[in-house]
């Protein structure tokens, strides 16, 4: 007899409540092994590849690509004993399971009316497990079925095939679609009554909706000069192409929520400093030529990161957070240094754990790995939590400086602007020097103006004279 195991959506991060199914790596009928890649999900923090938890055969997938699934909801079933043989008296149960799947594939509207039973032939009693009324499985709905060895299983919440708008709004020709498909249609602005169904018995599938949305977008955006822009790919139009609506999901949604919470919770103050970083540029050139640093990427960001770590060592009270619930200031005795990274999915701020312990070479390696993983959408969730202080590097975009918003749970963030050649008074003479602007935003509830200014000034001193780090280190 098959032994069915169910895999539920795990919490892929700290406190996450849901995730989107991005790509299934397996299909029903596939033989799988423990730790084999099973599915790629997108959380509010990152893309995560979940490993297979069982050896066996995939029975069915209970969520489709694109579905948003809450933590704890079943997403796949496996037969972990595919070679087991069912006893003879279990054969009716197996037949009933097949019948259930047949009902799933063929909607009730297409099923012929049952023929009346012959009066001289009493009906054979059906096995107890085959009766939906007895086992509560509701087998006539999509996603339900008989699970061997189980008295009752929780039905799949999103499996029913309902006409659009429910029975009260069903017309003479109701549209059959699953709730996730109807939800997708609402998000994409697709009228299901205009969609040509391709599923069995006139069922509108996810692919039907997506094709209709693509056709609609192609028509509505035909006159828009930027219709090849990637940020419009998941969007739709309601006004003939004059605007495009893109659903807010995953990283963009999480970023927006975090920034709004931070901006309206912590009183932000920003201080600015213009620094001559000519010596930093010379140091970067020397390190690039040093064979000890040939295996890492050396940039001015590396030096400003080290400068900030040295400033935190001199002023450890900047490395703190405000516990509003307990009304306490939490001073951290470690530095998890966040590095803001722009990715195809939005802004991420992964952090380097215990960055204060790293020498310069190891710090360069960590920065390189962190930013590479972020841009490849492979940042592990653990790297996106627990940060204590951060850097946002706006210089590569040609921006001089900015007023960055704090990451929730942190007390300060440093903005590092573009480095430009400018006339500068150096040793009593006007010379062309490399100059940059630094900005430090901090939470004024626990960092006063003097402390913020001292930290920023120390960062500027190390950038102007990197040898100062030897004195403070």
Spatial contact of 435 and 460, defined as CB atoms under 8 Å apart = no
d(CA 260, CA 66): 27
Quote the tokens at residue 56. 């066996």
Residues of the chain with pLDDT under 50: 86-173, 220-227
Asked about 444 being catalytic, the answer comes back as: yes
Which one of 8, 268, 273, 444 is the catalytic residue? 444
d(CA 335, CA 330): 13
Residue 252, pLDDT score: 63
Q: pLDDT tens digit string along 180-228?
A: 888 888 877 788 888 888 888 788 998 888 888 777 655 544 444 444 5
Domains of the chain are 4-112+123-135 (2.40.50.100), 162-232 (4.10.320.10), 251-472 (3.30.559.10)
Residues 164-184 as b/e (b if ≥16 CB within 10 A, e otherwise) read: beeeeeeeeebbbbbebbbbb
Residue 96, pLDDT score: 37
Residue 240, pLDDT score: 63
Query: What are the C-alpha distances in Å from 167 to residues 123, 138, 183, 406?
Result: 33, 19, 17, 50
Q: pLDDT tens digit string along 236-290?
A: 766 666 677 777 666 666 666 777 777 767 789 999 999 999 999 999 999 999 9
Residue 381, pLDDT score: 81
């Amino acid at each position: 007899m098959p032994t069915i195991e169910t895999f539920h959506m795990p919490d892929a991060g700290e406190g996450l409540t849901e995730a989107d199914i991005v790509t299934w790596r397996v299909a029903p009928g596939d033989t799988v092994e423990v730790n084999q890649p099973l599915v790629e999900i997108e959380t509010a923090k990152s893309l995560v590849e979940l490993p297979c938890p069982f050896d066996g055969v995939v029975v069915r997938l209970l969520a489709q690509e694109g579905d948003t699934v809450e933590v704890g909801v079943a997403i796949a079933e496996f037969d972990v004993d595919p070679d087991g043989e069912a006893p003879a008296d279990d054969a009716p149960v197996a037949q009933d399971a097949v019948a259930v799947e047949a009902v799933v594939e063929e909607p009730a509207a297409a099923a012929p009316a049952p023929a009346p039973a012959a009066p001289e032939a009493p009906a054979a009693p059906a096995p107890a497990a085959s009766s939906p009324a007895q086992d509560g499985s509701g087998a006539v709905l999509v996603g339900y079925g008989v699970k061997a060895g189980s008295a009752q299983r929780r039905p799949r919440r999103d499996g029913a095939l309902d006409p659009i708008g429910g029975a009260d709004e069903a017309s003479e020709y109701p549209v059959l679609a699953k709730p996730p498909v109807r939800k997708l249609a609402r998000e994409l602005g697709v009228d299901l009554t205009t969609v040509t169904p391709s599923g069995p018995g006139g069922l509108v599938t996810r692919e039907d909706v997506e094709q209709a949305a693509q056709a609609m977008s192609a028509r509505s955006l035909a006159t828009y000069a930027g219709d090849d822009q990637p940020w419009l790919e998941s969007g739709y139009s309601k006004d003939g192409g004059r605007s495009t609506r893109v659903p807010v999901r995953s990283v963009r949604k999480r970023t927006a929520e975090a920034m709004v919470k931070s901006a309206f919770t912590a009183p932000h103050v920003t201080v600015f400093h213009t620094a001559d970083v000519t010596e930093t540029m010379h140091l970067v050139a020397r390190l690039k030529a040093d064979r000890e640093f040939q295996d890492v990427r050396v940039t001015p960001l590396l030096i400003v990161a080290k400068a900030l770590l040295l400033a935190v060592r001199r002023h450890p009270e900047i490395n703190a957070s405000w516990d509003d619930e307990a009304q306490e200031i939490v001073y951290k005795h470690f530095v998890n240094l966040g590095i803001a990274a722009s990715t195809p999915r939005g802004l991420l701020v992964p952090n380097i754990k215990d960055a204060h312990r790293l020498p310069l070479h190891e710090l360069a390696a960590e920065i390189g790995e962190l930013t590479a993983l972020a841009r490849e959408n492979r940042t592990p969730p653990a790297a996106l939590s627990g940060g204590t202080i951060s850097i946002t590097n706006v210089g590569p975009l040609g921006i001089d400086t900015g007023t960055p918003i704090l990451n929730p749970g942190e007390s300060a963030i440093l903005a590092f602007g573009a480095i430009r050649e400018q006339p500068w008074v150096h040793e009593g003479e006007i010379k062309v020097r490399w100059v940059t602007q630094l900005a430090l935003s901090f939470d004024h509830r626990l960092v006063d103006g003097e402390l913020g200014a001292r930290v920023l000034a120390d960062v500027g001193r190390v950038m102007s004279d990197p040898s100062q780090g030897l004195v403070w280190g």
